[in-house]
A and B are shown apart, each in its own frame.
Chain A
Amino acid sequence: MTDLVPFLKNLISAPGLSGYEDPAARIIEEEWRPLVHEVSRSRLGSLHGLRHGTGQVPRPSVMVAAHMDAIGLMVSGITEGFLRLTEIGGVDARVLPGSPVSVFASGSGQTKVLPGVVAQPAAPLLPPEEKDGPVALEHLFVDTGLPPRQVIELVRVGDLVSFAQPPVELSGETLSGHSLDNRASVAALTVCLEELQARPHIWDVWAVATSQEETGLLGASSSAFELRPTLALVLDVTWAKGPGADEWSTFPLGKGPTIAMGPNMHPALHKAMKELADRLEIPYALEFSPRHSGTDAWATQVAAEGIPTLVLGIPLRYMHTPVELVALKDIRRAGRLLAEFIAGLEPDFIEKVVWDDEANA
């Protein structure tokens, strides 16, 4: 594997908005090709990488999923050369004014990437409650600095607008940038595949970079159905403690991944993962997920006749802003924990993924 930091910086610098993941998928595919035996794309654009296990056919399989799509914006109109916006995925408009963006302008036949700025109009141009309050997305614009007649030639309604904040390494081995939700998890999955090069495993492994998580978990539901794995592990970012985030649902940055429990996770998987982390002395936190996990696991668990699922979380500060912040150590720990779990899967492990009642029946 390319070193983690250059790979991740390169990955988050590529656009890959929900439904338009190709640029990110290409980078991931190139990285995965030496690490897996087969690569394919699903009908909805998810990337599948298969590592054959060593066990006798028919082999059980584990799907490890990390969504590769990122939130962003889309051109919804052009007024006097300024671009009106709508969101793809959940964007808090309060973090947008002054942000750098890239406009993927398709109007001239060939896509041109135009630098732009999210513009907050001056107070007299805004409705009363927005003169001094947060400006709604519908009243913000993207300004490319180009004159109106040039904008009309280059840009069309429906063109994608991605964040363009360059990645920044901060102290304490942390990385800040946009799209770390969820490319940090894709990187952790890649670390896992790298570690598996040296660890034989009996089960087949489907590494899946899912599409369209942010807009409805579609990559997860379609890939889980197509691949029909025996088990599914979902990697997503979770909320790190930090300024403005100190609730029970937040976790310290740099102190390991989270292992989630709740209706969306099978308790036997949770127990097995937890015991493994204890044995390996990999630090982790327990994540309490009372309802919808907010991840691909929600769709994966109910594909076809149902799939036992578990979620691992990588703590991330400032989620869904252009300056999300992750600890590189947490990415490596998550990747390693996954690899060890997969390497330790015995041929009949699925017999142990049962409910208390079943065991006693």
Chain B
Amino acid sequence: MPSISTPQIKLLERLCNAVAVTGDEGEVRRIVLEELKGLTDEVRLDALGNILAVRRGTGDKRLRVMLSAHMDEVGFMLVADEGAGLFRFETIGGIDVRQLPGKAVLVGREHVPGVIGARPIHLTTADERKQKIPLDALRIDVGPGTSTVKPGDRGTFATRFQRSGPAVISKALDNRLGVATLIELLKHPPAGVDLLAAFTVQEEIGMRGAKVAAYALNPEIGIALDSTPANDLPAWDGRENATYNTKLGLGPAIYTADGGTMSDPRLIRWLTGTGDALHISYQLRQPGGGGTDAASIHRTRSGVPSVTVSMPHRYTHSARSIARLDDWKNGLALLTEALARLSPELLASERA
């Protein structure tokens, strides 16, 4: 029975501290392949760099279930060398430009340290401070000495994973939480199901890895494991926050509908039924907006009933996100128990 304790947290820490920006996922790919040794019947890489792994179950009439967790994180690409260690850069994936000034970064395969600075406050005017600092005014500064850094290098925030009581503070909780969860599920796989695990690439620029992974794996059911924003802070004027999306501490979030997928109602019932029967905390993500690998999976071939389960985190796509370990524990428990009680009858049942 899987649990979240020190080894799992150490794995999450290793995954979060690794640098794997969209299109350059190698560092996480290597960690995953190492973790998967001995756990699968088949494992291969495809043309985009996805890891496709199969762990077959036992018994008759096994459902082919694809579980997908994207390996990439948002970050930067350096695009011009302005000399003396200063580089222009572009963002990869949706990063709010207001999250960039005053941050430490890592650049390239060698994790060269750099900083994104800002104009000193003393030199600014009040009017200037009413405008956000645009991307083209920002530079990555690696210092004026020699370094291996060059245009084309990817980079991301230099945040190191840390604990804060029941919480973790880290970069890339989206989606190393999903990756860590999928690894744990492969370590304790459900007996009656063929588990088709896809550690995908390029989710942050349009769920592209999942598209080809789903085609290759040809599943009957698709489940995306991701991490979704908890916008559960107070409103500036004290009004009720009615657009929280999810909340920290209420457990894994089951999607009903997001910007890319209408979750299959039978899969929603399957998950909520498991949670209710076994008293595992879960929440329903507010419908609308966003998208996960499920958007690509459910459109594959003649269609694949799909759903997403995400661990909530605050401050998405920034240097520091926050998640609660209990939510992750409940997410792993929910998925483990649900997969254990999954049978082909589910797909024969009525949708609504």
Q: How far is the CA of A168 from the CA of B104 in the complex (A)?
A: 8
Nearest 6 A-B pairs (CB), nearest first? A145-B167, A172-B145, A170-B143, A318-B117, A95-B102, A171-B145
CB pair B118 A94 closer than 8 Å: yes
Whether, in the assembled complex, B343 has its beta carbon less than 8 Å from a beta carbon of chain A, the answer is: no
Checking A134, A135, A170 against B141 with a beta-carbon cut-off of 8 angstroms, the contacting residue is: A170
Q: In the assembly, what is the distance between CA of A322 and CA of B115, in Å?
A: 10
Residues from chain A with Cβ under 8 Å of B237 in the complex: 127
Interface residues of A in 120-137 (CB under 8 A from B): 120-122, 124-127, 130, 132-135
Which of A47-55, A58-66, A241-249 sits within the interface? A241-249
* A residues in contact with B235, CB < 8 Å: 121, 124-125
Q: Which residues of B contact A98 (CB under 8 A)?
A: 99, 103, 157, 315, 318-320
Given contacts A146-B165, A170-B85, contact A243 B121 (CB under 8 A): no
16 contacts between A and B (CB under 8 A): A98-B315, A122-B245, A124-B241, A124-B243, A125-B243, A133-B131, A143-B233, A171-B85, A171-B147, A243-B137, A247-B123, A253-B144, A322-B103, A325-B117, A325-B141, A325-B143
Cβ of B129 within 8 Å of any chain A Cβ, yes or no, is: yes
Q: Complex: how many Å from CA A146 to CA B114?
A: 30
Residue of B nearest to A321 (CB): B102
The prevalent SS among residues of B at the interface is loop
- A171 and B236 contact, CB distance less than 8 A: no
CB atoms of A150 and B320 under 8 A apart: no
Q: Which residues from B are CB-within-8-Å of A114?
A: 164
User: Taking the complex as formed, is A80 at the interface, i.e. its CB lies under 8 A from any CB of chain B?
Assistant: yes
* CA A47 to CA B295, docked complex, whole Å: 63
Given contacts A97-B318, A117-B169, A135-B98, contact A242 B118 (CB under 8 A): no
Contact of B117 among A141, A250, A323 (CB under 8 A): A323
Q: Is the CB of B120 within 8 A of A150?
A: no
CB distance from A18 to the nearest CB of B (A): 15
**Could you tell me if A120 and B131 are in contact, using CB atoms closer than 8 angstroms?**
no
The verdict on B234 contacting chain A, using a C-beta distance below 8 Å, is yes
Q: Which residues of B contact A (CB under 8 A)?
A: 85-86, 96, 98-99, 101-104, 112-124, 129-133, 137-139, 141-147, 157-160, 162, 164-169, 229, 231, 233-237, 241, 243, 245, 249, 314-315, 318-320, 322, 324
Residues of chain A touching chain B, judged by Cβ–Cβ distance below 8 Å, are 79-80, 82, 90-100, 114-117, 119-122, 124-127, 130, 132-135, 139, 141, 143-147, 150, 165-166, 168-174, 176, 239, 242-245, 247, 249-250, 253-254, 294, 317-325, 327
Shortest A6–chain B CB gap in Å is 17
Residues of B contacting A319 in the complex (Cβ-Cβ under 8 angstroms): 120-122
Which of B99, B104, B166 lies in contact with A323, CB distance below 8 A? B104
A247 to B139, CA, bound (A): 17
User: Is the beta-carbon distance between A121 and B233 smaller than 8 angstroms?
Assistant: yes
Chain A positions within 8 Å of B114 at CB level: 170
- Which residues from B are CB-within-8-Å of A117? 169, 315, 320, 322
Q: How far is the CB of A101 from chain B (nearest CB, A)?
A: 10
Q: Which residues of A contact B118 (CB under 8 A)?
A: 92, 94-95, 244, 318, 321
Q: Which residue on chain B has the smallest CB distance to residue A141?
A: B233
A258 to chain B, nearest CB (A): 15
* Cβ-neighbour of A100 out of B86, B143, B145, B320 (below 8 A): B320
A58 to B140 alpha-carbon distance, docked (Å): 54
State how many angstroms separate the Cβ of A292 from the closest Cβ of chain B: 11
Does the CB pair B320–A245 fall under 8 Å?
A: no
Alpha-carbon distance A71/B309, docked complex (angstroms): 42
